[in-house]
Structure 1
Amino acid sequence: MKKEPSNGSMLADPTLLDKIDKLFACNVGEYIALPQLVVVGDQSSGKSSVLEGLTRLPFPRDSGLCTRFATQIIFRRSRDMSTRQITASIIPASDSDAERATRLKAWRCESIGGLEPDIFSDIMEEVYEMMGVSTTENTSLPTFSKDVFRLEICGPEEDHLSVIDVPGIFKNTTPGITSKADIHVVRDMVETYMRNPRSIMLTVVPANVDIATQEIVEMAREYDPNGERTIGVLTKPDLVDKGAEDRVLDLVAGNKLFIQHGWILVRNLNQQELRDGDTDRDQAEKAFGRTMPWNAIASDKFGIKSLKTRLQEAVTENARRAFPSVRSEISKRLKDSKNALKALGGDRETKEQKASFLLDIIARFQDITAQALSTNYGANDIFDTNIDLRLATVIVTRDTAFANELCKWGHEYEFKGEDDPTHNSSTENAITKPTAEQQTVQTRKIDSMTELDGIVTEQTNEALPSNNDINKWLSKLYRTSRGFEIGTFNGSLLATSMKKQSVKWVNFANGYISDVITIVHRFIVTTLKIAAVDQRVFENMLSIMMDALVDKYHRAMEQVQFLLHVERNGTPKTLNHYFNENLQKCREKRLKSILGDKVFHASGDVPVIRLDDVMAQDHRSNVEYTVQDIHDILQSYYKVARKRFVDNICIQAADYYLVTGPETPMKLFSPSFVNRLSEAELDEIAGEDASVQRRRSNLRKEIRELEEGRKNLF
């Protein structure tokens, strides 16, 4: 004789389960996987009878009213109540609009005691109407709904348990009622619940079929391959063919299709007993369990009471295990949602709101710009993830490269006796000398941007300075341009030779300023995208500002052309005392090279040279003497002019017009820009499109529901 299973009500944690149910009621399950018990099976599996046995509610079978949407059934024990109370409500689908969600949440139906079949059918008809689901054939309304019907059953004798029933899967359509599309709708709905890693799946299968091949069993294996969260329920044992009982007994005993929570056999009322209406379900089940061969099944694996105990056990264990991580996930999701809403900025409906939104973007843009120019990179993590935003550092690096390149490669001819700066190991940022195969130097170091085409110059390759005898070139230049001067040369000769010697400055300077423009523009684009967040707003702001930006870039380019003209076409002139010092050093160096072998040492190891040797050392012709003088003056002036030119290009053209001056491109993004915008321009730039409005509405709904859910946790 079977031993009756002990009462499992004490296994349940009412406080914990109540919190989980409240999370479902707040729609938190849409954002966080919540622990739950979901009843799955096909339309002929006996799901409705199992639920009726668990709930003691007369689920209508003929109309199939309980199979068109998910139903959450919540049992709660309350010793303060004298009789059972049933409350029905609707949890709107997550994609419901605000008006529909409010209307569905407001619907409520309460009943004291049990629900008669006709009353329950009336309630379900009303639920259908509220959800907008069809109740008749050949209607335009959908057959299934993603809303959840919620039944809360409280009473002094109820056990603590929550169950979610989902529509039964099916393969064949019913003309006028279901379609092939409905087959996929129901399957997707069922899989959504089964896919949840915190779902316990109550899998209902008729015992009189080949269980191993049932579709719902295959689905359970797919989502729970180890059988850790599946409870098997076998129905209709009274319909099992004679001789096939051993197959069912093996399954219940755990010898086949093993699952952690095992299989339980239940015997519901058959069609004749339902029609008679006077058969006690539990008594009929007990009587059946005493018959052969079913009396061999252990008591904890047979009957609706054993099933309820097993469910309480599994659900409570699952909830306790998952609850700490659920709480953590809700807090994290809430934080992420708030950050996402904050990133969208304030509402953008009125003119004032749109202006305020743009002003916030401008403020963020200017904050990043100020940090980038002051090298305060630790103030913002974006400088770690995007090195190009380290504007001051990138500009200074390019400045140094420009100065070094012009020093090493900017002249047409090598000067006589010029030291090679690439061999000076103490020079910071020394330039790597090109290899023998590398006979040219690129004037641009930064890849250009498509939107700057036609504004900046293209990449050019400059040949290395010529090693041909510079004196031959100067001699030819002197012979073809001298006048009536005696013992000297025409002043215009210095200007002519300087223009030729600095011919490469043009491409080096244009390449440098083009790189700085590209660096600045890339910084503006990246920073504006970060500040704006909204891709549409970013594109609109950049588009409306592009003409003004281009004008700024042209002004920098024009300043370079001006400085090139002054240095290469103007009259050579300098007040820098280093010109005379350089010239004196050149002449001293030349004299030392001539008299070096005439030097001897007197007493005290003092170097001495005879006056006669000094007087007799220079036997050059007037032309040679003049050419050497031109060389030394050109070399001395070129050094001074080059350093001046580099400083002027970096300070006046780049820094003043593009980086730190009073009217740089970055300063176009200012409050005055926003204040000048018309209402139409404000709407064009900052007006929210439909997708952003939906995103904002959805985030607010999510935050509201998550906050309500978190409140219920404590």
Structure 2
Amino acid sequence: MHHPSASLPSNMVDPGHLDKIDKLFACGVGDHIHLPQLVVVGDQSSGKSSVLEGITKLPFPRDSGLCTRFATQITFRRAQAISTTITIIPHKGATPAYAEKLCAFKVLTHAVLEPVSFSKTMKDVHKLLGLSDNPSDGDNKSTFSEDVLKIEVTGPEQEHFSVVDVPGIFRTATKGMTTLADASMIKAMVPRYMINPRSVMLVVIPANVDIATQEIITLAEEADLDGHPEVGVMQLIKGDRHPLQLGWCLVRNLGQQQSQDNAADRSAVENAFFRDCSPWNELDKERVGVDALRSRLQEVLTSNIRREFSNVKREVLMKLNSAKRALKELGEKRQTPDEQRRFTMDISSRFREMVSLALNSNYSGHKWFDECSTLMYVTGVVNCGEAFADAVDKHGHAYGFKFDYTPEVPGRSNLSSNGGQGLKLRSTPDHPDLEDLISGERLIDDKISTNIIEWLSGLYKSSRGFELGTFDKNLLGTTMKAQSAKWEPLAHGYILDIIHLAHVFITDLLKLVCPSARVRNGIMSVMMEPLMEIYRRALEQVQFVLYVEHNNPQTINHYFNDNLEKSRQKRLRASLEKHATTQPTQFGTTGRSVIALDDIVQNHPMSNAQHTVYEVHDILKAYYKVARKRFVDNVCMQAADYLLVTGPKNPLKLFSPQFVSSLNDDQLEEIAGEDAGTKRRRNAWAKEVKDMELGKKILVGVA
């Protein structure tokens, strides 16, 4: 069959616009937005390739084994040198390795494309795409591909023009050629080109079939309802029952025998047919023949491209901004250990800045303190410390000390220090992360016994020996341990409150500096073990302080002697007050109480045992006051303040850049590694940003 040089009539499409469109397709912009293009569609074996061959003057091979196996983009452009370049554009979902392999394919010839070389190239392309020549062979290869073959033809006589040919639609499988799965794939592929609102569809319908049986016409009419422009191409007129927006054109393809004749001139045969054969010579000349079809496409494409170019630029900018925002929302890329470390380091730096403000009570330093009260950590610690000291002072003793030394009332042994409601040990709710630390009751008995002398008497009688005027040295330790029995649950509850305040601070601050729940969970999973170690050290410190207080009562604090002497004086005064008289002053007012010396000498109100018991009481009372203050200070300063607030290894300072630097690659992957879904989204958005940036550069200067 004779093929004239592949040149097109002049002024087909504005060359600058077409060049930009071609570049937009090449850089992947067409994967994200609709671009103006001419798409040739039709049912399988509809003569679509012959029509395309007539328009493009390219010798499409007849031995490719099947009509079109993949979309083919054909571009013509004017240049000084004659060349034909064939490349492959990978489909949108191609893997990086597969895409790289396809992009490496390139066939360049400095001559007009010839049938033999074109046929060989097509076979190479089929092999590269992994297409099966015969599905019945069971090689599990695909018959069709989503990839796009790109053919670029240049020469001094060429005019800028571009067209896309897509596989033909078919309903039934052809044994040894196609399968029903192939039919489904093509039926899904072709509409994606047809729904492009900026494309012009060239719908090819054969003349020897009922138009109602052509599935492509139904798809075209559906697209037409949405305002998509189509040009219908038929080989015989079939009436106007199926009008398309841009109307119909009639062309005559070569017959089977003519197509095998290398000397056959398609244009000459077609022109003679529409000039000499009745009734075809009576039809409107602007609607018959490939030349008329090309002229019609010239008008449609030129108008369509000019109209859509500014819209394309606007959509490229919108898509670019949208993709950048989506990529920014994913945060920094974190697929390698270095990227993951930098990402985690940034979070830890922002975390540390907030910790510094919180520990210095600089709550005006950031708005988060106003939005999240749990970040006011120091305030919470101070309030808990005051509450703890008050609780130990009012409720920490098992027996009430005597202050007036009046005889105890029989049968009245207990009073409630908190109205009988029990004593609440905790002020913070339990955190699920700290279940292993939580033990014991949250409420203890608030009863305080009033019969301390009776109790001490029983202990003294059960432990006395041959001492005269003294008592067993171990008696004070026994009484002190019993008197301070509530210190342990009170201190344990207090330190658990501080631990919970610290842990809630950490988790709440992480939510603010790290919005990703997955990353937060990863950070906490790595931090929990060292955090629990810090918390346990604080609890152990409380137990240590308790052990010291209960093990061997002693003090060098002079307030002990001061308090003891005051208690002895009060007891002596109470025993002598019944002998005292009031001496009036010279002005007739009430004076000081006085007592006769003989009454002092003859005052023997107590037995030896009673005297010893009261002495034990006074010693216990004086020592308990000193020990209580010391115990509260030690628990607050050593267990709470040093280990949980201000110390160098407090829990708030754990998550730091130094901590991140110590993490191994597995830990970094657990914390900051992106899941498969995030990686896919990041790669997709990154590709779209890259494509749109290129598209933006290509469209510079477009109004």
Equivalent residue number for residue 91 of structure 1:
89
CA contact under 8 A between 1:91 and 1:105: conserved in structure 2? no
> Which one is further off, 318-327 or 651-660?
651-660
Does residue 267 of the first structure (1) align with residue 267 of the second (2)?
A: no
Amino acid at match of 1:564: L
CA contact under 8 A between 1:495 and 1:572: conserved in structure 2? no
- Structure showing greater radius of gyration is 2
Q: Distance in 2 between matches of 1:630 and 1:518?
A: 44
For residue 326 of structure 1, report the CA deviation from its aligned partner.
0.7
Equivalent residue number for residue 120 of structure 1:
118
For residue 107 of structure 1, report the CA deviation from its aligned partner.
1.0
Instruction: Note closer, same or farther for the CA distance 1:654–1:69 as it changes in structure 2 (3 Å cut).
Output: farther
Instruction: Note closer, same or farther for the CA distance 1:202–1:339 as it changes in structure 2 (3 Å cut).
Output: same
Does residue 562 of the first structure (1) align with residue 538 of the second (2)?
A: no
Equivalent residue number for residue 405 of structure 2:
none
Q: Distance in 1 between matches of 2:172 and 2:323?
A: 40
SS of corresponding position for 1:15: helix
Question: Residue 652 of structure 1 is aligned with which of 622, 638, 648?
Answer: 638
> Which one is further off, 12-21 or 206-215?
206-215
Q: Distance in 1 between matches of 2:203 and 2:444?
A: 84
5+ long unaligned stretches in structure 2: 1-7, 402-417, 462-466, 574-588, 597-604
Does residue 374 of the first structure (1) align with residue 372 of the second (2)?
A: no
Does residue 70 of the first structure (1) align with residue 60 of the second (2)?
A: no
For residue 636 of structure 1, report the CA deviation from its aligned partner.
9.3
Instruction: Note closer, same or farther for the CA distance 1:263–1:491 as it changes in structure 2 (3 Å cut).
Output: same
Equivalent residue number for residue 600 of structure 2:
none
Instruction: Note closer, same or farther for the CA distance 1:368–1:685 as it changes in structure 2 (3 Å cut).
Output: closer
For residue 42 of structure 1, report the CA deviation from its aligned partner.
3.1
CA contact under 8 A between 1:234 and 1:264: conserved in structure 2? yes
Q: Distance in 2 between matches of 1:665 and 1:177?
A: 70
SS of corresponding position for 1:204: strand
Q: TM-score, normalised by structure 1?
A: 0.66
Q: Within 5 Å, which residues of 2 pair with 1:693-708?
A: none
For residue 698 of structure 1, report the CA deviation from its aligned partner.
8.4
Q: Within 5 Å, which residues of 2 pair with 1:158-169?
A: 160-169=160-169
Equivalent residue number for residue 234 of structure 1:
232
Equivalent residue number for residue 445 of structure 1:
428
Superposed CA deviations along residues 408-461 of structure 1, whole A, max 9, x for unmatched, are: 5982679999xxxxxxxxxxxxxxxx999x8674626254345x553x124732
Q: Distance in 2 between matches of 1:401 and 1:531?
A: 32
Instruction: Note closer, same or farther for the CA distance 1:137–1:457 as it changes in structure 2 (3 Å cut).
Output: closer
> Which one is further off, 95-104 or 335-344?
335-344
Number of residues of Structure 1 aligned to a counterpart in Structure 2: 624
CA contact under 8 A between 1:289 and 1:295: conserved in structure 2? no
Q: Distance in 2 between matches of 1:112 and 1:153?
A: 9
Equivalent residue number for residue 304 of structure 2:
314
For residue 150 of structure 1, report the CA deviation from its aligned partner.
0.8
Amino acid at match of 1:121: S
Does residue 109 of the first structure (1) align with residue 108 of the second (2)?
A: yes
Q: Distance in 2 between matches of 1:379 and 1:411?
A: 37
SS of corresponding position for 1:238: coil
CA contact under 8 A between 1:74 and 1:151: conserved in structure 2? yes
Instruction: Note closer, same or farther for the CA distance 1:675–1:441 as it changes in structure 2 (3 Å cut).
Output: closer
CA contact under 8 A between 1:203 and 1:232: conserved in structure 2? yes
Amino acid at match of 1:411: H
Equivalent residue number for residue 480 of structure 1:
458
Q: Distance in 2 between matches of 1:320 and 1:274?
A: 48
Q: Distance in 2 between matches of 1:174 and 1:632?
A: 110
CA contact under 8 A between 2:42 and 2:216: conserved in structure 1? yes
Question: Residue 471 of structure 1 is aligned with which of 450, 461, 464?
Answer: 450
Does residue 147 of the first structure (1) align with residue 151 of the second (2)?
A: no
Q: Distance in 1 between matches of 2:556 and 2:71?
A: 90
Q: Distance in 1 between matches of 2:135 and 2:180?
A: 15
CA contact under 8 A between 1:498 and 1:568: conserved in structure 2? no
Instruction: Note closer, same or farther for the CA distance 1:692–1:235 as it changes in structure 2 (3 Å cut).
Output: closer
Amino acid at match of 2:247: I
Q: Distance in 1 between matches of 2:487 and 2:294?
A: 99
Equivalent residue number for residue 662 of structure 1:
648
Superposed CA deviations along residues 570-615 of structure 1, whole A, max 9, x for unmatched, are: 637585979989x999x99xx9xxxxxxxxxxxxxxxx86646999
Instruction: Note closer, same or farther for the CA distance 1:314–1:442 as it changes in structure 2 (3 Å cut).
Output: farther
Equivalent residue number for residue 395 of structure 2:
411
CA contact under 8 A between 1:11 and 1:316: conserved in structure 2? no
Instruction: Note closer, same or farther for the CA distance 1:464–1:15 as it changes in structure 2 (3 Å cut).
Output: farther
Q: Distance in 1 between matches of 2:496 and 2:331?
A: 44
For residue 54 of structure 1, report the CA deviation from its aligned partner.
3.8
Does residue 397 of the first structure (1) align with residue 380 of the second (2)?
A: yes
Q: Distance in 1 between matches of 2:215 and 2:365?
A: 55
Amino acid at match of 2:119: S
For residue 267 of structure 1, report the CA deviation from its aligned partner.
1.7
Q: Distance in 1 between matches of 2:56 and 2:44?
A: 19
Instruction: Note closer, same or farther for the CA distance 1:298–1:132 as it changes in structure 2 (3 Å cut).
Output: closer
Q: Distance in 1 between matches of 2:65 and 2:561?
A: 103
SS of corresponding position for 2:104: helix
CA contact under 8 A between 1:471 and 1:627: conserved in structure 2? no
For residue 373 of structure 1, report the CA deviation from its aligned partner.
1.6
CA contact under 8 A between 1:237 and 1:265: conserved in structure 2? no
Instruction: Note closer, same or farther for the CA distance 1:11–1:501 as it changes in structure 2 (3 Å cut).
Output: same
Q: Within 5 Å, which residues of 2 pair with 1:34-433?
A: 34-37=34-37, 38-60=39-61, 63=64, 67-76=68-77, 78=78, 81=79, 86-94=84-92, 95-98=94-97, 101-102=100-101, 104-110=103-109, 112-113=111-112, 115-136=113-134, 138-139=136-137, 140=139, 141-154=141-154, 160-193=160-193, 200=199, 202=201, 204=203, 206=205, 215-216=215-216, 227-228=226-227, 230-236=228-234, 238=236, 240=238, 245-248=239-242, 251-252=243-244, 262-270=245-253, 272=255, 275=258, 277-280=264-267, 283=271, 295=284, 303-330=293-320, 333=323, 342-344=332-334, 360=342, 363-364=345-346, 366-375=348-357, 393-394=376-377, 396-397=379-380, 400-401=383-384, 403-404=386-387, 407=390, 411=395
SS of corresponding position for 1:202: strand
Q: Distance in 2 between matches of 1:613 and 1:12?
A: 128
Equivalent residue number for residue 461 of structure 1:
442
For residue 382 of structure 1, report the CA deviation from its aligned partner.
12
For residue 176 of structure 1, report the CA deviation from its aligned partner.
1.9
Q: Distance in 2 between matches of 1:341 and 1:285?
A: 66
5+ long unaligned stretches in structure 1: 1-6, 253-261, 349-355, 418-433, 592-607, 616-620
Superposed CA deviations along residues 311-343 of structure 1, whole A, max 9, x for unmatched, are: 332234233202123135346646866997952
Q: Distance in 1 between matches of 2:666 and 2:86?
A: 46
For residue 462 of structure 1, report the CA deviation from its aligned partner.
0.8
Q: Distance in 2 between matches of 1:384 and 1:125?
A: 69
Instruction: Note closer, same or farther for the CA distance 1:660–1:673 as it changes in structure 2 (3 Å cut).
Output: same
For residue 204 of structure 1, report the CA deviation from its aligned partner.
2.2
Q: Distance in 2 between matches of 1:99 and 1:655?
A: 60
Superposed CA deviations along residues 669-710 of structure 1, whole A, max 9, x for unmatched, are: 788889989xxx757866999979997998987777666555
CA contact under 8 A between 2:91 and 2:147: conserved in structure 1? yes
SS of corresponding position for 2:395: coil
Q: Distance in 2 between matches of 1:269 and 1:112?
A: 29
> Which one is further off, 311-320 or 153-162?
153-162
> Which one is further off, 53-62 or 526-535?
526-535
Amino acid at match of 1:558: E
Q: Distance in 1 between matches of 2:532 and 2:89?
A: 56
CA contact under 8 A between 2:202 and 2:233: conserved in structure 1? no
Q: Distance in 2 between matches of 1:12 and 1:646?
A: 90
Q: Distance in 2 between matches of 1:206 and 1:652?
A: 91
Amino acid at match of 1:561: Q
Give the alignment's Cα RMSD to 1 decimal: 6.0
Equivalent residue number for residue 25 of structure 1:
26
Superposed CA deviations along residues 198-243 of structure 1, whole A, max 9, x for unmatched, are: 6536262638778789655665688x69614x22232326162xxx
Instruction: Note closer, same or farther for the CA distance 1:532–1:443 as it changes in structure 2 (3 Å cut).
Output: closer
For residue 515 of structure 1, report the CA deviation from its aligned partner.
1.9
Amino acid at match of 2:395: H
Amino acid at match of 2:49: S
